[in-house]
Structure 1
Amino acid sequence: MNAHMQQQMLEQQLLHAAEVMEEQIDSEMKKMDEMDDDDIEKIRQKRLKAMQRAHAAKQEFIAKGHGGYDELPSEKDFFDKVKECKRAVVHFYRPTTLRCEIFDKHLALLAPKHVETRFVKLNAEKCPFLCERLNIRVIPTLLLIVDGKTQEKVVGFDQLGGHDEFSTEMLEWRLGVSKAINYRGDVNQPPEDKRAPARNPLHANRRIRQADDFDTDEELFGDD
């Protein structure tokens, strides 16, 4: 197939897509024209109630400590604080490990953006029992918790491009892959990494998950 034919096919596809979109818009406009004032008011009230529910949920999350990036002082605080959260991102750090500060920077930016998730940090040197139980052997490590279970771990930076200069958007995408946050982008397509274009984070993610020996469905909390 020559270039001219390819160009014609592309133009036909674009024209067809435009026609379909125009039909959809016309259909929606026709529905709006056929609505009376009562129908429009019902839609307005429905959207208002949805906004009120979203606001109430946000306030409830904030009341539980969501929206900030805080340090938990002890293992007991971990169980007390994380148990009541549907989702949590826990950064196991060591004060002498400089790369932990890189995670700190990004997590502090993501916490207020994703109030549906609790973001906390825990000094690994102060919680040896917890590190042993969760097999935390590399610092820094992010523990991603969903519904009281270990969903996954992000160990170091290999799953984020393999370098220190990864973006906040890259980490946000990685948390979205594990459903630790409500991610609005495409989890199958990581954001562009301009600093390391040759590496594919999806490939690095597969390699790390195969190398790490941990249970991806580990119970953190027993029955009350």
Structure 2
Amino acid sequence: MSNKRIETLAARLVEPNNPRNRAQDSDDDDDEALFAELEAEIENDGSYAMREQGLEVLKREMERMQALKQNQHGSYTEIFDEKEVIRVTAQEPKSVVHFYHSNFKRCEIMDKHLALLATKYFNTRFIRVFVENVPWLVEKLAIKVLPCVICFLNGTTKDRVVGFEELGNNDAFTTAVLELRLSVSGVLQKQQPSGVNDIYNVSSSSAIRTKRKEQDDDRDIFDLDD
């Protein structure tokens, strides 16, 4: 059994739970059952050396992925404390922060797409922060227009997406369009960690062909100075 196959099996243990299929209270039992299944697959390998190697790789991969999971990787979470936002962005190698306001529809649209990307790019931390909770950061980062998504690499601001202009200036843009745009900054790791299957296929051509709806788009911008 190849290391790639083993890593793929390990990734199944920490894939985000499907709320339709798994109850939160039974997660631990389900994880134990899945671990036993993966261990059995490795034990069935004909080579003793490969079995030992496989179990060791599985253990390391599980420990790594579980550590990420405990730090909220794989989910899109909200942070309310300004100091905590600073700490997370400083310590995480890759993080994406959505500065939002609850009264703006386009921020809700951005939330929907970032929540999907969070489950796909497990090595990147995705968070949202209410601008009124982080006044110092809003001023420090010169955030004027919402939604504002800022990419951090090793504690340094690398890139930002302001409004929807770079996303086709269209409320109906696809998650793939946002994914393509964020990938430019390097905050999204192209290779899926541990061989986790894609949630959806990304098509550059379809992103480029995204239709633009000009009517009212220019006026649909939330300005913090207003």
Using the alignment, how far apart are the partners of 2:173 and 2:96 within structure 1? 18
Matched, 1:196 2:222: no
Cα distance between partner residues in 1 of 2:51 and 2:167 = 42
* Amino-acid identity (%): 36
Deviations 1:55-84 (A, max 9, x none): 332211111121211111121121233222
- Unaligned 5+ segments in structure 2 are 1-46, 193-202, 214-226
Map of 2:149 onto structure 1? 142
1:183, distance to aligned residue in structure 2 (A): 2.1
Cα deviation for residue 114 of structure 1 reads: 1.4
Amino acid at match of 1:117: T
Residue 179 (structure 2) pairs with residue 172 (structure 1): yes
Structure 2 counterparts to residues 1-224 of structure 1, below 5 A: 50=57, 52-184=59-191, 190-193=204-207, 194-196=209-211
8 A contact 1:92–1:123 mirrored in 2: yes
- 1:53, distance to aligned residue in structure 2 (A): 3.7
Matched-pair contact (CA < 8 Å) for 2:89–2:154: no
Q: Could you say which structure has the greater relative contact order, defined with CA pairs below 8 angstroms and 6 or more residues apart? A: 2
Mapped partners of 1:124, 1:99: distance in 2: 14
Q: Quick one: structure 1 residues 195 and 79, their matched pair in 2 at CA, closer, same or farther if it must change by over 3 Å?
A: closer
TM-score (norm. length: structure 2): 0.61
Q: 1:121 to 1:44 in 2, by over 3 A?
A: same
SS at match of 1:144: strand
Describe the shift of the 1:166–1:152 C-alpha distance in structure 2 as closer, same or farther (beyond 3 A).
same
String of CA shifts for 1:155-210, please: whole Å, max 9, x gaps.
1112222211111112122222211121249xxx8351354189xxxxxxxxxxxx
Distance 2:61 2:166 in 1: 32
**One-letter amino acid of the counterpart of residue 123, structure 2:** E
Larger Rg: 1
Q: Is the 8 A contact 2:90 2:156 kept in 1?
A: no
Counterpart CA distance in 2 for 1:174 and 1:59 is: 28
| Number of aligned residues | 156
CA distance in 1, matches of 2:59, 2:168: 39
Distance in structure 2 (CA, Å) of the matches to 1:174 and 1:51: 33
